[in-house]
Structure formats: C-alpha cells, structure tokens
Amino acid sequence: MGKITGFLEFGREPETVEAPAARKRHWREFVRGLDDEPARRQAARCMDCGIPFCHHGCPVHNTIPDFNDLVYRQDWRRALEALHATNNFPEFTGRICPAPCEAACTLNIASDPVGIKSIEHKIIDRGWEEGWVVPRPPARRTGKLIDGRQVTGWFSEDFSLAELKTLRARERLPKLRVMLAHGGGSFPYTIGRIEHGFRMRPDLVATDNPRNPREYLKRFYFDSCVHDDDALRYLLDVTGVEQVMLGTDYPFPLGEQVPGSGIEALGLDEAGRERLFHGTALEWLGLPRHRFAPDPSRPESA
C-alpha cells in the first residue's frame, strides 16, 4: 500500500488553517486542504501493515489502504470510487470527522499517523472539481413506503434499499447467516412500532415481506456491543440468548475497554455466558466447538 518505504521517508503534513484574526471576518471555509503532491506524499506513508486497524477504527469502515494506494498512484477517480463504496458523504466526514481511523493507524504506535482525514478531504474535493460526483438514482423506483416514510434522496435510498435487499435476501436464502452489529441498531428497539405498521397497513409494508417483522429477531444474529446494561438485557429478552454474541468494537477507541464486561455485568448463569462469549459466534461462523477446545495431550493445555 502506498510506497513501501514511504513511512520512513515522509513525515505527516497537516492541512493549514487560516489565522483566527482573518477567518473571523468571513463565513467561508478556513481549512485549506492539501495540494496534489503533499496528498500523494501523505498517502505514500500508508504502511503494508498486514492488518489495517484504520479500516476497523473508521465508523463506516472505509477501505482506507485502498484509496491511499490509489492516491499515491494518482488514480484519483478510482480513489473516489473506493471512498464512495462505503461513504456517501465524504464532503462532511473529510472535514468534521474526529478521525478515529488515525488513532487506530499502525504508524501511530511509534510515529505520527497517516493524515487519512486530509487525504479523504482531498479525494472528494478533487471529485467535485473533475465533475465525477453525480447523482446515483436507483434503476427502478417502486414508489412504496418503507417504515411509514417516503424514501427520498440519495443518502436515504442507498441505505434503505440496502436494508430492504437484506430482508429479501433472507427470504430467498434461508440458510444465510447475517449478524447485525451494535445490537442491531434501532431494529430490536423499535420492533413494536414496526410490527404495528405491519399489522395496520399491510397494503404498504407487507407487500414484499410475508412475515411479521418480529420473526426476523430470531432469524438474525446480533452482537452485544450496546454499552448499556438495560439495553443488552432488553436485546436478550426480545431475541433470545441464542441470537446474541460478544461484540467489542475493537480496536475502535469507543469500543468496550474490557472485552466482555457488558456481558459479565448482567450476572447470567454459566450456560448463558458461554453462549454469548463463544457459542453463538461459533454457530454463526459454522465452526465446531471441538476445534477450539484444549488438547489434553499437549502439556501447555494443562
């Protein structure tokens, strides 16, 4: 990724900021993004580190090493495509995101991290300059309502249609095992309202989905990373312990600092703890438990 020795040859080059005395006189943007060559040098610092912790540190899981490499090679259009693959609005995140990806950067262990946010900022600005940022409407619109709201706009369509496709795929592929991170987001916690809409307006919300939405709580898996004891208890109540597995958000700095502490705080019995700590994950991954059991024939297992 980038230049193999780039992290040894180049230092971090931050974006410049207009002086307060000047910027207080106007309402324009006061952060000046990197030019092409400084952005290329910064992308060259991306290490071939094996495990890209920056990718997991990013809340939207941007494929950061990929677009860094493309910027280093000056392939700006493909860099924009790689960025847009996971991020609908880099215009915002490239400016106001606190950049936890940089905190997770491997280079940050012994040096200054790669300026990922400034590279993202440069990619999207270059995209607008070149006219590459264009609307992406769906090929076909149904005009149907989702969750009682008319789906409009590029951002909401991308995510609502992705969600709708997930449910349809679950119907077509009954053996598909899907895990929803962060306790499934709002899904388990608004299931009463979703179910009410299914019952009261089947003409709107039950046309493509023959099942009561509550049934999907038993057909998806969820992780435990909700950071709230009451929320986790509720999740276990509505889904069952069989559908929930340990989640930590590692190595994201807002993740669970002591992995498993949220589960331990519930005071579950041994069977419940075993299910959450490893049983559900093994089932979801389709792995046999005996592969991970200690081998009594090996001295270090004793």
Secondary structure letter of residue 4 according to DSSP? T
Averaged pLDDT, 127-134: 94
When pLDDT is averaged across residues 186-203 and rounded to a whole number, the result is 86
Residues 6+ apart with CB under 8 A from 8: none
Threshold 0.75, pTM exceeds: no
For 276-298, write each residue's pLDDT tens digit: 999 999 999 988 888 887 766 66
Q: What is the pLDDT of residues 156-189, one digit of tens each?
A: 434 444 454 556 666 677 777 888 888 988 888 8
Rounded CA gap, 122 and 115, in Å? 11
Which of the residue ranges 40-44, 225-229, 298-302 would you say has the lowest mean pLDDT?
298-302
The predicted pLDDT at position 3 comes to: 85
Mean pLDDT of the chain: 85
Query: Angle at Cα 114 formed by Cα 7 and Cα 64, nearest 5°?
Result: 110
* pLDDT > 70: percent of the chain: 85
Supply the pLDDT for residue 182: 87
For 181, list phi and psi in degrees, rounded to 5.
-75, 165
* Dihedral pair phi/psi, residue 32, rounded to 5°: -100, 115
Residue 177's alpha-carbon distances to 170, 222, 297, in angstroms, are: 8, 11, 34
What span, in angstroms and rounded, lies between the C-alpha atoms of 113 and 42? 10
Query: Looking at per-residue confidence, does 301 or 30 come out higher?
Result: 30
